[in-house]
Amino acid sequence: MTATFEKFHADARKVIADPRYQFAIEDATHTKNVKRTAAAAAYPPYEPLRDHLKAVRSSILSQLGVHLETFEKNAQNAGATVHWAENGEAACQIIADICERHGATRVVKGKSMASEEVHLNHYLEKEGISPVETDLGEWIIQQAGDPPAHIIAPAIHLTRYEIAKIFERVTGEDVDPENVEGMTAMARGILRDKFLSAEVGITGGNVAIAESGSIVLVMNEGNGRMTTSLPPVLIMLIGIEKVVPNWNDASAVLSLLARAATGQALSQYTTIVTGPAREDESEGPKEVHYVLLDNGRSKLIGTKYEEILRCIRCGTCLNVCPVYRKIGGSVYNTPVSGPIGSVFTPLIAGLNEYVALPHASTLCGECLKYCPVRIDFPRMFLDLRSDEVEQKVLPWRDRVIERFAARVMSTGWLYHLLFGIGRIFQVPFIKDRQFHLPKWINPAKERRLPAFGKRSFHQVWAKGEIKDDRS
């Protein structure tokens, strides 16, 4: 998977021209924003808790290794097996090996962004194991063959008509698209059978707690509860940055996560797995494996990008981002989209491959403003863009233009000279105070750039015609 400029722009054009998609994405993100705002207002500690959680997550990252070792020790004491995966391939291999050791082919999966990140389903299918997604949205997009369109709501890009078609294909029955309850009930029936016969369950995790060796999973449907308790073998895949030292910190994460993600005070179900079923229990998983995924995360510690690992994956930055709200998740061509994906993915999967993503931002700062752990996305977009110039990731033509622009902007006399020349030579191209340039030379493509004014801002300012109303 890649996101080059050509591919990104071509894909973006397609979805921007699709009014149905535009409505779906605007409707979904708007609803989420309204709900988050209401939940924050109804919870007086929301703002101070954001500052607290930011400090907690920063402190954790500053000595992540210590917390991971404590987590490992306590998880092992609780009877869980802890695996370390250096990269995506290694994580898939570990999981496939566990399945093979149990001769398992029937595998059920809970929603997990980490498993999307390492393309686990694809890997397991090659090994002859067919994992069934059990979150309704994930199951729908698995049938459709689409990547998730949103961290929290993977199928927001599909209408009920398209989803009814998918149900018809799977069941061979007629499905009424107006009957959403009916479709949900069908999925319940199909998936209930899968749960009851599954040999291995695979889930992600929202928080790993060092002091108790537990992994916490939040969900609304209950599929995560099914996946963690019905199959005899349970595998939980979690990024190493998700660890917290204690339950007070975990409670802080949980108190903000659902409010930010869906506007709920807590998700309908919070499941805490601490090793396998105990000896005095007659049910529950006999074997529990925690797979700790590094995949480039440890390399970010101590760098200017460390704070991206503070993320708790609530999806708020997607919902408030003017770019995401126009293009949705698929254009990013990475499971984690929006501002978080645009910084995280190039860092772990390569700036070369995802060169367009650091530019998928207007730098308006809405993501920073609403992020529950106050991640400074705009700063990192700029840092990534400057890395692109330094590492010569951008095409040479763009690099020359960027360097030239930087020189002009930072050299007063050159700036005034060039814009003075521009003011004179623009005249034949201007109509209605706009540039009319042939398409191939117009840097703004379809849009018309405004003409330079008669006088520059500097000249107007020097004359005192603009009032400085900064207080």
Pick out residues in 295-354 that bind other proteins (CB under 8 A): 298-299, 301-302
The count of residues in the chain is 471
265 is an interface residue for other proteins by CB under 8 A: yes
Under rule CB under 8 A, which residues in 109-148 are in contact with other proteins?
134-137, 140
User: In this chain, which stretch among 264-272, 313-321, 350-358, 404-412 interacts with other proteins, using CB under 8 A?
Assistant: 264-272
Q: Are 370 and 316 in contact, with CB atoms under 8 Å apart? A: yes
Of 303 and 426, nearer to other proteins (C-beta) is 303
C-alpha–C-alpha distance, residues 123 and 90, integer Å: 11
CB of 219 to other proteins, least distance (A): 9
Please name which of 328, 19, 34, 341 lies closest in space to residue 157, comparing C-alpha atoms. 328
Q: Does 45 contact other proteins by CB under 8 A?
A: yes
Give the three-state DSSP class for 289.
strand
If the CB atoms of residues 198 and 393 are measured against other proteins, the closer one turns out to be: 198
282 lies in the site for other proteins, by CB under 8 A: yes
Of residues 186 through 225, those in contact with other proteins by CB under 8 A are: 187-188, 191-192, 195-196, 212-214, 220-223, 225
CB 405 within 8 A of CB 386: no
Q: Which residue, 281 or 432, is less far from other proteins as judged by CB? A: 281
Cα separation, 134 vs 125, in Å, equals 16
**According to CB under 8 A, which residues from 56 to 95 bind other proteins?**
56, 58-60, 62-66, 68-69, 78, 84-86, 90
CB nearer to other proteins: give 38 or 460: 38
Q: Which of 277, 382, 389, 408 binds other proteins (CB under 8 A)?
A: 277
Q: Which is nearer to other proteins, 6 or 27 (CB)?
A: 27
| Rg (the chain; Cα; Å) | 25
Residues 224-263 that bind other proteins (CB under 8 A): 225-226, 228-230, 240, 245-248, 250-252, 254-255
CB of 45 to other proteins, least distance (A): 6
Min separation Cβ 146 and other proteins, Å: 13
Pick the stretch among 4-12, 47-55, 123-131, 360-368 that binds other proteins (CB under 8 A).
47-55
How many residues belong to the site for other proteins (CB under 8 A)?
A: 96
Nearer to other proteins, 75 or 451 (CB): 75
- Sort 366 into a burial class: Cβ within 10 Å, 0-12 / 13-18 / 19+: buried
191-210 core/surface letters (b: 16 or more CB in 10 A; e: else): beebbeebbbbbbbbbbbbb
Question: From CA 398, how far away is CA 389, in angstroms rounded?
Answer: 9
CA 42 to chain CA centroid, nearest Å: 26
Tokens of 406: 């930087």
How far, in Å, are 39, 129, 329, 352 from residue 219 at the CA level? Answer: 17, 25, 21, 35
Task: Output 15 or 61, the one with its CB closest to other proteins.
Answer: 61
